[in-house]
Structure 1
Amino acid sequence: MSTGIQVTLLLFLIACAIGVSFTRNLFIAVIIFMGYSSIMAVIWLFLESPDLAITQAAVGAGVDSVLFFLTLKKVHALKGTREG
């Protein structure tokens, strides 16, 4: 059972990495990256490393995503954020 879940997580991880590489929409790329970070956190839990899992979840899916969304807003890549 555990091996099947780990293989499924690995396949989702690979799909996220490929998806980020090929998407043209920056907003979608950030959302896929959030999924990648969340899956990585779960994989760290399976590897019995909870400290890395918590760090990955907090920094990878949390802080990085907020910074990416703020960057997209600053470069006017998100619709409705154009000033003037």
Structure 2
Amino acid sequence: MQVLHILLLVFIISCAVSVSLTKNLLTALVIFMGQSLAMSVIWILLESPDLAITEAAVGAGITSLLLFVTLKKIHAIDIQKGTDKTTNNVQEGVTRHGKDQE
């Protein structure tokens, strides 16, 4: 059991680092969902099912859904075509913002 705790903690830490280092918003969102699900498993192992359900519902469920909808609304992803434009849109937005301030 102790080994599983350590593996999950290492997974959560690696997810946190990779979310902050990735340039693709959709990839960061999927990693965030995985981190939240791993955290809910940790809550189950710590015999706290109420927190596990809350973490799974809010962290992996509602928050991820809201972030997906936000990416769709700002046209960062195109679900119908199956394309991911997050990196280009973020770079274009930063470039446009920099030009506006000049």
Query: Is this a same-fold pair by TM over 0.5?
Result: yes
Deviation of the 1:76 alpha carbon? 1.0
TM-score by length of 1: 0.91
User: 1:31 — aligned with what?
Assistant: 30
Alpha-carbon offset, residue 38 of structure 1: 0.1
Alignment length (residue pairs): 80
For 1:9, the equivalent position in structure 2 comes to 8
Task: Give the root-mean-square deviation of aligned CA atoms.
Answer: 1.2
- State the alpha-carbon separation in 2 of the partners of residues 65 and 76 from structure 1: 16
- Runs of 4+, deviation exceeding 2 Å: none
Distance 1:46 1:37 in 2: 14
Bigger radius of gyration among the two: 2
* TM-score, with length taken from structure 2: 0.75
**Structure 2: where are the runs of 5+ without partners?**
84-102
One-letter code aligned to 2:19: V
Alpha-carbon distance between aligned partners in 2 of 1:50 and 1:41, rounded to the nearest angstrom: 9
Q: Which runs of 5+ in 1 are unaligned?
A: none
